[in-house]
Amino acid sequence: MQKLIRIEPAKCVGCKTCELACSFKNAGEFAPSRSRIFNEVFVEEAKFITVTCMQCDDPWCEKSCPKNAITKEMASGVVTVDEEKCVGCRTCVSACPFGMIKYVDSTGKADKCDLCKGDTPECVVFCPTQCLTVGEEDKPLRQKMLRFVNTMKDGQMEV
């Protein structure tokens, strides 16, 4: 079964603790801009939404990479970037339909959520409202995409 971070928007309070925990674990600093999970705030609408890599069934980032630096581990379903192979061309950034793979200026490489490489993701560990959990996805990609689109459209949605 494919693992992924499940997000319950109704429980999220927009505290951004997930961003801080993620950036500290992966970049060694409390810098939301270096996070692999994003809590987007829309001030005028008074809404926010938390998003991260969906570990796609058939990742477009992987298909687009000319250096085969992005791979999907079939057992866990986790999509990772091999920094040794990545040349920083940003093709994967353009290919991701959800905008969840980023180019990091300081490293010149692509970066994305890898579910903390098998450990319980830091964002899940430190979420004060437990709106983030790690689960196994048994639905096809189309259903995940529809849930994401509905969440974006409505701002809050039970998953």
Residue 40: which domain range?
2-154
In a domain, 159, yes or no: no
Instruction: Give how far Cα 130 sits from Cα of 17, 44, 77, 99, 138, Å.
Output: 11, 26, 23, 24, 21
Residue 158, C-beta contacts closer than 8 angstroms, at least 6 positions apart: 8, 9, 10
pLDDT of residue 18: 97
Question: Could you tell me if residue 10 is inside a domain?
Answer: yes
> Which residues, other chains included, contact 27 with Cβ-Cβ below 8 Å and sequence gap of 6+?
34
Domain count of the chain? Answer: 1
| pLDDT profile of the chain (159 residues), mean per 10 | 84 94 96 94 84 91 98 91 97 95 95 91 97 78 66 55
pLDDT at 76: 85
Question: Are the beta carbons of 110 and 101 closer than 8 angstroms?
Answer: yes
Q: CA–CA separation, 108 vs 42, rounded Å?
A: 29
- The domain that holds 7 is classified in CATH as 3.30.70.20
Predicted TM-score (pTM) of the model is 0.81
**Residue with token string 């339909």:** 97
